[in-house]
């Protein structure tokens, strides 16, 4: 927002995050973010605080707090959204617009507006728009500066003025041609859940195809390539492997199912249960393949795990399939050493029982098996001939179907991948 020319005050309840951001240090890794902060901080247009009173001067307030899965349930925990709305309300000026960005169950926006209205100063009319966030970690800056669409959910007599104000906020990307859809609250809220449900379904679809390919001796990568040439299908999100994770897709499809159930539309989304089950099933499947590759047992074996982040170009390890597999392999009796270009610190914090190494080579010393579990560019560039000299047994499972099997096999490796024939 500051890069788009606005003056921004960012409020977080975490004093540690505010302190590090105020020094110009992002508390997480996102490509280009260090550089962007170094560019923007000297302009004075971006400040960080824990003090909600400092929001008073703003014309537009974005609520972007987390909506994790409820402990012990599938629904979304929206308490942070309501806490933010409650803290903000007393500082609202008349005419200021609050914009919900968090991913929420349909029906939340109306309740957030009521919460704002209750807490707002006497005589202040609370305006609320819902503007779901579609950015992808790893591409967050590009997706923010040049998103592929805007969705504005608006309601009430001030709707036209709210749209006009949001258009001012997004003047740059709108002028560059970003399409925008103006709709009601429930449609705007549902777009995000539906988009994530579709993407998750596409990944689980190709992973289901991988299982059939394995049974039939076919190759899921070639199958995906062939499917992808049909532009009604498209090649994106058809990469078979150990499946999706992260802080969005898994919790969002579960919250979507839970909310549909509350609305009496549970039947409509039962297929998402299968999508979730197919996805989670990839992890034990990978562990079983690892066991098979190690001659029937993982006990006492040395296993190198390449990747800890849930996806490349991120240090986010929330529900990371790579770490889940690494942990299961360790529990099955193996000595596991993990390497990730950016997510080691986060991983070590949550999984102190795993071993960590600063380089790919160090992680692979004397390994009986290498597991490639997050498709970082750095891993695609590994020289398999060189790495073969480091390990005890040149055996690799490519959990992301991202390495070149010909190259690895020519270098003497036993290369296995989910959904591809064994040679
Ligand atoms: N991460 C993504 O790629 C992505 C993409 C699209 C949408 N979303 C959605 O955006 C929302 C945020 O996701 P995230 O990954 O950034 O979550 P996060 O948990 O990483 O960050 C949330 C932040 O909110 C802060 N916070 C919590 N309560 C607060 C309060 N009352 N006042 C001020 N700050 C508070 C936390 O300290 C934390 O820094 C979620 O609804 C998520 O589903 C995330």
Task: Classify residue 235 by burial, with Cβ atoms within 10 Å: 0-12, 13-18, 19+.
Answer: middle
| 101 CA: nearest ligand 1 atom | 10
Model confidence over 229-260: pLDDT tens digits?
999 999 999 999 999 999 999 999 999 999 99
Burial class (CB in 10 A: 0-12, 13-18, 19+), 372: buried
CA distances for 163 relative to 60, 108, 149, 152, 156, angstroms: 12, 19, 15, 7, 12
Atom of ligand 1 nearest to the CA of 11: 33
Q: Which ligand 1 atom sits nearest the alpha carbon of residue 27? A: 39
- The pLDDT assigned to 423 comes to 74
What's the 63 CA to ligand 1 centre distance in angstroms? 9
Instruction: Return the structure tokens found at 328.
Output: 């299961």
Q: Is 133 in the pocket of ligand 1 (CB under 6 A)?
A: yes
Tens digits of residue pLDDT in 167-212: 999 999 999 999 999 999 999 999 999 999 999 999 999 999 999 9
d(CA 213, CA 351): 34
Tell me whether residue 251 is exposed, middle or buried, using C-beta atoms within 10 angstroms of its C-beta: 0 to 12, 13 to 18, 19 or more. Answer: buried
Q: Decide: 67 in ligand 1 pocket, CB within 6 A.
A: yes
> What are the start-end ranges of the E strands in 234-346?
302-306, 335-339
Is the CB of 137 within 6 Å of ligand 1? yes
How far apart, in Å, are the Cα atoms of 229 and each of 138, 207, 223, 224? Answer: 26, 18, 10, 9
DSSP string for residues in 107-165: THHHHHHHHHHHHSPTTPPPEEEE------TTSHHHHHHS-S-EEEE--STTHHHHHHH
Q: What number of helices (H) and strands (E) belong to the chain?
A: 17, 13
84 Cβ below 6 A of ligand 1: yes
pLDDT of residue 262: 96
Q: At what angle do helices 185-216 and 220-228 cross, to 10 degrees?
A: 130
Distance, C-alpha 154 to centroid of its chain: 27
Q: How many C-beta neighbours within 10 Å does residue 157 have?
A: 8
Structure tokens at 131: 């503007």
Q: Are 242 and 373 in contact (CB under 8 A)?
A: yes
248 in contact with ligand 1, CB cutoff 6 A: yes
**CA 320/CA 309 separation, integer angstroms:** 6
Q: Is 159 close to ligand 1, i.e. is its CB under 6 Å away?
A: no
Which residue's CA is the closest to the ligand 1 atom numbered 20?
66
pTM of the model: 0.96
Compute mean pLDDT per 10 residues along the chain, 423 residues long, and list them: 96 98 96 97 97 97 97 96 98 96 98 98 96 97 97 97 98 97 98 97 98 97 98 98 97 97 96 98 98 98 98 97 98 98 97 97 98 98 98 98 98 97 83
Which residues are identified as catalytic? Answer: 248
HSE-up of 339 (CA within 13 Å, CB side)?
Answer: 20
At 238 the pLDDT is 98
pLDDT score, position 191: 98
- Ligand 1 atom nearest to 103, measured from its CA: 41
Give the per-residue pLDDT at 415: 98
pLDDT score of 54: 97
pLDDT at 23: 95
Nearest CA to ligand 1 atom 23: 65
């Amino acid at each position: 927002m500051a890069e788009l020319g606005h003056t921004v005050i960012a409020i977080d309840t975490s004093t540690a995050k505010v302190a590090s951001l105020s020094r110009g240090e992002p508390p997480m890794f996102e490509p280009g973010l260090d550089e962007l902060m170094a560019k923007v901080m000297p302009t004075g247009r971006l400040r960080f605080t824990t003090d909600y009173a400092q929001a008073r001067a703003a014309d537009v307030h974005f609520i972007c707090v987390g909506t994790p899965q409820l402990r012990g349930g599938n629904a979304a925990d929206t308490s942070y959204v309501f806490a933010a709305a409650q803290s903000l309300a007393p500082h609202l000026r008349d005419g200021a617009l609050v914009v919900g960005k968090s991913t929420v169950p349909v029906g939340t926006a109306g309740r957030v507006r009521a919460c704002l209205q209750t807490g707002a100063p006497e005589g202040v009319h609370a305006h609320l728009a819902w503007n779901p966030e579609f950015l992808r970690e790893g591409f967050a800056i590009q997706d923010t500066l040049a998103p592929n669409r805007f969705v504005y959910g608006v309601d009430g007599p001030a709707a036209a003025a709210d749209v006009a104000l949001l258009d001012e906020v997004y003047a740059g990307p709108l002028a560059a041609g970003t399409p925008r859809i103006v709709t009601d609250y429930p449609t705007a809220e549902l777009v995000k859940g539906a988009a994530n449900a579709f993407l998750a379904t596409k990944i689980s679809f190709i992973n289901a195809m991988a299982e059939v390919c394995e049974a039939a001796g076919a190759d899921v990568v070639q199958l995906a390539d062939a499917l992808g040439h049909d532009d009604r299908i498209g090649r994106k999100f058809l990469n078979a492997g150990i499946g999706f994770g992260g802080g969005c897709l898994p919790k969002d499809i579960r919250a979507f199912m839970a909310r549909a159930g509350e609305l009496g539309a549970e039947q409509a989304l039962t297929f998402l249960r299968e999508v979730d089950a197919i996805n989670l099933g990839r992890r034990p499947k990978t562990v079983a393949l690892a066991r098979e590759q190690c001659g029937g047992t993982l006990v006492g074996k040395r296993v190198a795990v390449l990747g800890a982040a849930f996806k490349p170009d991120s240090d986010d390890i929330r529900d990371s399939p790579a770490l889940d597999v690494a942990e299961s392999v360790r529990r099955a009796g193996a000595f596991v050493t993990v390497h990730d270009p950016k997510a080691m610190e986060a991983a070590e914090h949550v999984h102190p029982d795993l071993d960590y190494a600063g380089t790919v080579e160090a992680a692979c010393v004397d390994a009986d098996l290498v597991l490639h579990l997050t498709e970082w560019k750095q891993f695609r560039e590994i020289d398999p001939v060189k790495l073969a000299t480091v390990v005890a047994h040149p055996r690799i499972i490519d959990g992301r179907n991202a390495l070149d099997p010909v190259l690895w096999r020519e270098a003497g490796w036993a290369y296995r991948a989910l959904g591809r024939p064994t040679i």
